[in-house]
Amino acid sequence: MRIATWNVNSVTVRLPRLTAWLESTAPDVVCLQELKCSAEAFPAEPLRELGYEAVISADGRWNGVAVLSRVGLAAPVTALPDAPAYDGVREPRAVAATCGGIRVWSVYVPNGREVGHPHFEYKLEWLDALRKAAEQEAGGELPFAVLGDYNIAPTDADVWDRSRFDGATHVTEAERAALAALRETGLADVVPRPLKYDQPFTYWDYRELGFPKNRGMRIDLVYGNAPFEEAVSDAYVDREARKGKGPSDHAPVVVDIAV
């Protein structure tokens, strides 16, 4: 089975690229983030024509997440349990489903904005809620994974130049400690070094030729429990999907598992 995660940075803008990628890559399950559309505007019909059902959580703002599946959608959950609110709003940042016998969460972790900003504290609180949710599922016999845009680079090797991030979010000890706490629920980073590229960044800023100069970050992650990790047969960052006209600023991460 092929499972992928992709921050598409607007599913409506990126729809032609998304559908072409689905046809060429043929994933069975896809976790999407940053839909930037309302639930009503989500392009369910074009995806259904390609064989994909969808469970989504979206409110028309800059967030929004989805799970696409062509192997079934069971036990959907459209919100992270006990997720904190920001500015009075519980944002649509997590959705889950069981697809072909594999339990997946698609997550879009808050950016954090700046160290010391209220949004940074919100990010840490949100990650703690994710940890608590993962504790309920990670130890089971069912393959289970939390995929998505974590907005955290796990190590200094996961940013193109660590010195450029001094004092910034995405690399702080607090954020990395939250990731470590999530892994302690029984999850592992199943794509620490994808097999097809030496520098497996997943995000490159649109500005200052970030992608051509490979000034990137690895912030799109796949954390799986032991049954999931043991089934992984291949993994890669699809850099080709970041090329060309009008791409997302993220590339898909693809994982093949033997189930």
Domain carrying residue 168 = 2-257
Looking at residue 55, which CATH number applies to its domain? 3.60.10.10
The length of the chain in residues reads 259
Annotated active-site residue 119? The verdict is no
- Of 28, 149, 158, 238, the catalytic one is 149
Kindly name the residue from 28, 52, 108, 223 that is annotated as catalytic. 108
pLDDT value for 196: 55
Q: Which three-class secondary structure state does DSSP give residue 50?
A: coil
The answer to whether residue 156 is catalytic is no
pLDDT at residue 195, rounded to an integer: 54
How many domains would you assign to the chain?
Answer: 1
Residues of the chain with pLDDT under 70: 193-199
How many whole angstroms separate alpha carbon 192 and alpha carbon 12?
30
Active site residue 250: yes
3-state secondary structure 160-226: CCHHHHCCCCCCCHHHHHHHHHHHCCCCEECCCCCCCCCCCCCEECCHHHCCCCCCEECCEEEEECH
* 149 annotated ligand-binding residue: yes
According to the model, what pLDDT value does residue 161 have?
A: 94
Note the pLDDT of residue 192: 73
214 is in an annotated binding site: no
The model carries a pTM of: 0.96
